Amino acid sequence: MPPPPTSGSVSRRDVLKGLVAIAVGTATGAVAHGFLYERHHVDVTRTALRVAGLPEALAGLRVGFMTDLHRSSTVSHDLIATAATLLMAERPDLIILGGDYVTWGGDLSVGGDRHFVEPAADAVRTLSAPHGVFGVLGNHDDDRDMPVAMAARGIEILRDERTRLTIRGEALDLIGIRYWTTRARDIARVARGAAKASILLAHNPSRLKEAAGLSLPLMLSGHTHGGQIVLPGIGALAARSFPIVAGEGSRNSTTAFVSRGVGTVYVPVRINCPPEVAILTLQPAETA
């Protein structure tokens, strides 16, 4: 039988207990930081995107992108209004909203609360840009009240629709699809006749496959929240199924940008994944 540990020595059990205590303390601290601080501090992400077929006249066009507001009892008016103020301070030429303005606002059977539809729209009422403010709906948004509330604030919601802008003498088409529009043929129908310079607005970044198959040059998405909780050495567990979790990516000739969004859903915590608004400067893709 081994002798009992002498005074001043540390047993294996003590070491394991200490490691567990450190791990629990670290996790608790991370969650507290994510709840109390990180989710309230919005980053401004500035990115240059190379876009296939972009006319030289549109080089340098600055698109403001803001998504996943999730106005709710845990996502305040002040947070979203601050994000809108940060975006406006960048003076974008065009503003795009990517959907999920509330949490389950369209389905009362799963606990949805339309009480936040008007407050969500009111929080972004200050948004304006020389070439307009446009958006699409996310899977948490209803198809009636939210578009009406946004329209009252000068924001046009595209629901399987395409609209053409003329900027610096060139045509730029915005192709906005519903979250539930997933088949390539349905997206192709909305995109039919689109200008060479076009942007697909799709809440779900999984539509990158269809966008690439249709050779649409640029897609803007949200939905992932960047994972919302990103663990060191592990990554974003909640968003691994998406082709792009956050930031820029591409497939074939299609460039995509996925925003981390502003609000939170399910748990009011962000870890290693602060909220953001994005300024996307469009540039022609380099030709071989």
What tens digit of pLDDT does each residue of 206-235 get?
A: 999 999 999 999 999 999 999 999 999 889
Residue-averaged pLDDT of the chain: 88
pLDDT at 112: 52
Q: Does 169 have pLDDT greater than 80?
A: yes
Question: 222 with 263: CB under 8 angstroms?
Answer: no
Exposure b/e, 183-214, CB count within 10 A at least 16 = b: eeeebeebbeebbebbbbbbbbbbbbebbbeb
Structure confidence at residue 33 (pLDDT): 39
Nearest to 122 by CA among 76, 69, 73, 81: 81
The string of pLDDT tens digits covering residues 183-192 is: 999 999 999 9
Closest CA to 212 of 184, 182, 190: 184
Question: What DSSP string runs through 28-94?
Answer: HHHHHHHHHTGGG--EEEEEEEEETT--GGGTT-EEEEE----BSSSS-HHHHHHHHHHHHHT--SE
State residue 104's pLDDT score. 85
Tell whether the torsion through CA atoms of 217, 137, 261 and 223 is positive or negative: negative
Least Cα distance to 47 among 221, 277, 250, 203 occurs for: 277
Model pLDDT, residue 257:
98
**pLDDT exceeding 90 applies to what percent of the chain?**
77
Section 97-121 average pLDDT: 79
How confident is residue 13, by pLDDT bands cut at 50, 70 and 90? low
Lowest mean pLDDT among 7-16, 134-143, 271-280: 7-16
Whether residue 267 contacts residue 36, with contact meaning beta carbons closer than 8 Å, is answered with no
pLDDT value for 239 = 81
3-state secondary structure of 143: coil
Indicate the domain borders of the chain.
42-284
DSSP letter, residue 209 = H
- Predicted confidence band at 3 (pLDDT cuts at 50, 70, 90)? low
Give yes or no for residue 38 having a pLDDT over 80.
no
Q: Classify 42-284 by CATH class.
A: alpha beta
d(CA 153, CA 144): 15
Q: Give the model's pLDDT for residue 21.
A: 33
Cα Rg, the chain, nearest whole Å: 22
Q: In which band, very low, low, confident or very high, does the pLDDT at 282 lie, cut at 50, 70 and 90? A: very high
Q: How confident is the model at residue 14 (pLDDT cuts 50, 70, 90)?
A: very low
* pLDDT tops 90 at residue 11: no
Contacts of 55 (CB under 8 A, 6+ apart): 170, 196, 197, 284
187 φ, ψ (degrees, to nearest 5): -65, -40
> Which is more confidently placed, 12 or 88?
88
